[in-house]
Amino acid sequence: MIKNIGVEIQQDVYDFLKSGKTIGLLTTYSDKGAPHLTPVSTIYPKNSESILIAMLSDTTGYKNMGWQKKVMLSILESPNMCVHIIGRSGVVRAPSRIHPSIHIAQIDVIDIIVEDTMLVAIESGIKWKHVSDETKVLYDSLMAELRECVDSV
């Protein structure tokens, strides 16, 4: 079943985004209209109507955001839901203070759609771990910068 939630992020989704354990799929579109998916792990809610993400500036998804501002961030999570956050993107910090190749973008919510999976139940979302101690330090630093951006951008 599909439910249109509106423009405000529900509290349970907001709390999940704030946990720092979210993996989302960012859908962008090329100048020819071809869709592209970019996995994004550095996601943090700015408020109930905006989300901040950090991503490499040389990815196809980031480049697509430069000309087509409309994006969709999809998140799978239990119990049995897929949240699609449709929004308008814009770069708020380039480069980030952590790394010159990483930029901070803000997604302002246009609409939120929640879908239930019909044939399977999501038990615990996407599980992940850091690939090295260095990536954990980078991840933690980027998440701290996103939290800092909540008040400064």
Of 4, 3, 1, 2, the residue nearest 111 (C-alpha):
4
What pLDDT is attached to residue 25?
95
DSSP-derived pairing of the beta strands 70-77 and 50-56: unpaired
Cis previous bond, 35, omega within 30: no
Rounded percentage of the chain residues whose pLDDT exceeds 90: 68
78 band by pLDDT with thresholds 50, 70 and 90: low
